Amino acid sequence: MATKILLNGCKGRMGQAIIKLAPDYGAEISGAVDQGDDPSRFIAGADVLVDFSFHTVTLAVTELAARHGKAVVIGTTGHTSEERAAILAFSKQVPMVFAGNYSMGVNLMYYLVKRAAEILGPEYNPEVMEMHHNLKKDSPSGTAEHIVDVIREARGIAKEHVLNGRGGMIGARPVDEIGVHAIRGGDIVGEHTAYFIGQGERIEITHRATDRAILARGAIRAANWIVGKKPGLYEMKDVLGLGD
């Protein structure tokens, strides 16, 4: 039986991609709402609420889902710390997947980077590079920042030792430093590489995105997976069965 999705943010780029792909991945859009619509009209007939809207909207729709005992998948970003805390509190009542990137490949990359950072040790210098189209406004990307956090946590490196770009007479590279570099140009959808550079060899873990539909497919997979789970906060690594 198809998973019934109440989609909040149906007019956005991600919302449109989810609507297009849902039937191919065992899901059905039982309700599609956006700004000015009333999601409560559709909540009873849904198995899961999927939110790709705006950060100020997520809390209200999550509260609605929790009140009706419906699972939640959140892909909206940009929440304040207060908004995020209030949203996550509802994971005590219903199962919730909260992720900043729903690409299955990117989430597998996070896992591989963590294992590489743990296994290779400090003698392999970590660097992160990301590439995006020339219209992207933020730098580094949120995905690059998460890769950096994965390395930091695995190595015990402080945030103060993350260096965004290099220039001038900066001296020798400290062992406990992570360099982060951003490239912008053309229509690059997204490319991220984590380097572990040792003496005589280097390891590169790269993810290249060529179609934004990868995010929609991952969100639909998360929606299918979360239905029937126990209340709690889940990540994409749980959806993909990657463990710790």
Bridge partner residues of 8 (DSSP): 33, 51
Domains of the chain: 3-102+213-239 (3.40.50.720), 104-209 (3.30.360.10)
Q: Which of 198, 225, 193 is nearest to 209 (CA)?
A: 193
Buried b (16+ CB within 10 A) or exposed e, 165-202: eeeeeeeeeeeebbbbbbeeeeebebbbbbbbbeeeee
**Which SS3 state, helix, strand or coil, does residue 90 take?**
helix
Contact 47, 70 (CB under 8 A): yes
Contact 34, 10 (CB under 8 A): yes
C-alpha to C-alpha distance for 222 and 227, rounded to whole angstroms: 9
Which pLDDT does position 142 carry in this prediction?
85
Helix axes 213-226, 104-120, angle to 10 degrees: 90
Query: What average pLDDT values come out for the chain (244 residues) when binned by 10 residues?
Result: 96 94 97 97 98 95 98 92 96 96 95 97 96 90 93 96 93 95 95 98 97 94 98 96 80
Which pLDDT does position 166 carry in this prediction?
92
Which pLDDT does position 85 carry in this prediction?
97
Name the strands in the sheet holding 48-51, side by side, starting at the edge strand that comes first in the sequence.
Answer: 27-33, 3-8, 48-51, 71-74, 95-98, 232-234
C-alpha to C-alpha distance for 48 and 67, rounded to whole angstroms: 13
β 95-98/232-234 pair status: parallel
Run of H or E residues at 67? helix 58-67
The conformation of residue 210, written as its DSSP 8-state character, comes to S
Contact 39, 57 (CB under 8 A): no
Nearest-10 Cα torsion for 153, 155, 161, 163: -90
Which pLDDT does position 212 carry in this prediction?
84
**Which SS3 state, helix, strand or coil, does residue 107 take?**
helix
Which residues form the catalytic set? 132, 136
How many CA within 13 A on the CB side of residue 160?
0
